Amino acid sequence: RTGARVERQALARYTTLGVGGPAEVWFVGDHAQLAEAMEAPYRVLGGGSNLVIADQGVSERVIRLVGPLAERDLEPDPRLSAGDGVVTGWVGGGVPLPGLIRTLQKSGLSNLEGTVGIPAQVGGAVWMNAGTRYGEMFDGLHTIEIVTPQGMRQVSPNELQWGYRNSGIPRGHVVSRVRLKLRRSTPSAVLEKMDAADQARKGQPKMKTPGCAFKNPGGVSAGKLIDDAGLKGTRIGDAMIAPEHANFIVNLGGATAADVHALLDVIRGRVGVPMELEYELWP
């Protein structure tokens, strides 16, 4: 046995929506513990900022990256860095993205500032290719380490099929660590770019939420489509379509996953354009 800590816990505490029943949570801090956790059916939990987890919980093991897999070495690697280009040491998949983005800004390192304000972990953000119109995770990656039950491999981003909110990494393949590819700039120049991305977030609700419910279909704002259907403020139980931005469902306090699913059905029934769900529903 590798000594991974295993505890049965309610998953609500790990999600930004604040919803989710119990599961066996595996806290894995190194590759041996990760391999052991993957010996039975599993799911990977990042920052829980894109998940609607069932009130009954899930039957699979839930893997959470901690310890060394949630640490970061931002020292430029001298073998890989040259001129303005910086390649960092390893950054764990479990590292919270917001703090990383702040640190890079203070160090005057550019490429990932467009992702400011996304409440993810590095691994989850890479897996989804989280981003905004100001930039996405793809812009700042040099190497991605991916672990599966069959073993580990390190790939360069251009070996994957990237897209909008999609890295091409198959579900269940764990982003354990990455090396960042950055460009030397100045703290004030990076901050200026961040401010623009921050500004675009001003109209988003401040309550418990898993972010945007639907991907923008064909570049049209899903939020605008839901708004045009007159659905802002629609409420089922303690889940509500945010009055500030219609692509956000918020938890007023006691929302259940069932409330959120019911609201998603209302939206699908009322918006004429087919929209792909951005959230992930567990199970």
Q: How far is the CB of 278 from ligand FAD (least distance, A)?
A: 7
46 binds, among ligand FAD, ligand EPU, none (CB under 5 to 8 A by kind): ligand FAD
Residue 222 has, within 13 A of its CA and on its CB side, a CA count of 19
Distance of alpha carbon 128 from the chain centroid: 6
The interface region with ligand FAD, picked from 2-10, 28-36, 203-211, 224-232 by CB under 6 A, is 203-211
| Token pair recorded at residue 27 | 């806290």
* Shortest distance in whole angstroms from residue 98 CB to ligand EPU: 13
| C-alpha distances out from residue 265 to 162, 232, 275, Å | 29, 14, 12
Instruction: Identify which of 15, 7, 10, 13 has the alpha carbon closest to the alpha carbon of residue 37.
Output: 7
133 binds, among ligand EPU, ligand FAD, none (CB under 5 to 8 A by kind): ligand EPU
| Cα(19)–Cα(100) distance, integer angstroms | 26
Asked if residue 157 binds ligand FAD (CB under 6 A), the reply is no
The candidate with the shortest Cα–Cα distance to 154, out of 172, 165, 169, is 169
Residues that bind ligand EPU (CB under 6 A): 132-133, 200-201, 203, 211-212, 215-216, 221-224, 227, 245-247, 278
Dig out the tokens for 116 from the structure. 């400011």
Q: What is the C-alpha to C-alpha distance for residues 234 and 246, in angstroms, rounded to an integer?
A: 10
Out of 36, 60, 165, 183, pick the active-site residue.
Answer: 165
Tell me the closest approach of the beta carbon of residue 179 to ligand FAD, in angstroms: 15
Minimum CB separation of residue 195 from ligand EPU in Å reads 13
Q: Which of 61, 113, 145, 212 is catalytic?
A: 212
Strands 22-28 and 61-65: parallel
Q: Indicate which of ligand FAD, ligand EPU, none lies near residue 128 (CB less than 5 to 8 Å, by partner kind).
A: ligand FAD
Decide if 64 is catalytic. no
Residues 6+ apart with CB under 8 A from 63: 26, 28, 34, 37, 38, 42, 43, 44, 45, 174
Smallest gap from Cβ 142 to ligand FAD, in A, equals 17
51 binds, among ligand FAD, ligand EPU, none (CB under 5 to 8 A by kind): ligand FAD
Beta carbons of 213 and 245 less than 8 angstroms apart: no
233 φ/ψ angles, rounded to the nearest 5 degrees: 85, -5
For residue 213, state whether it binds ligand FAD (rule: CB under 6 A): no
Q: Secondary structure of the chain: what % helix, strand, coil (to 5)?
A: 30, 30, 40
Pick between residue 118 and residue 180 the one whose CB is nearest to ligand FAD.
Answer: 118
- Annotation marks residue 145 as catalytic: no
Active site residue 179: no
> What's the chain's length in residues?
283
Nearer of residues 133 and 268 to ligand EPU, judged by Cβ: 133
Work out the end-to-end distance of the chain between its first and last CA atoms, rounded to an integer number of angstroms: 28
Residue 142 interacts with ligand FAD (CB under 6 A): yes or no? no
**Active site residue ranges:** 165, 212, 278
* Sites of contact with ligand FAD (CB under 6 A): 16, 43-51, 65, 93, 118-121, 123-125, 127-128, 130-132, 165, 174-175, 209-211, 280
